[in-house]
Structure 1
């Protein structure tokens, strides 16, 4: 979903790469810095509802010996809800204008 939104917002490939880089800096880098211990553990409480942090917790659950099913279900529901909302209110409304403008349909 995020890739589709980024392609809607970008005029060319370079702008797409720059938008992706900005998204990485804003969403991914803080979570990685908390994981490797650069930031204090208290920052993890702030990042708890970040989509990237929820996805990282779900991916880490696949390698853990014990999994907190309640947390996994909450993260899965949260990511599913965000995906639905992004699709319903951002991707679908912009599709027609994107298709007529860039695809020539």
Structure 2
């Protein structure tokens, strides 16, 4: 009974880490190519390949092998180092601001 609970916990952990890797892959795909160059990080294609392979490894292999750990490290590096640099440059789909901002500043309706 204790062993089956442990394996269910590992299954949930594996699912959470796979979702985390998938979210990193989506965030890398949404960011603009020129933001990677402006942030002085590797290219967008590099990160898409690394995160895509990492996501596939997490889907295919169990959490107790070393390959998902390497994929998790690559995902963490992207989320902790590259993504904040891209967000600072404005490399996401939205570069910040309010939804009521117009092309010359905020629109207050007056």
Output the TM-score relative to the length of structure 2: 0.36
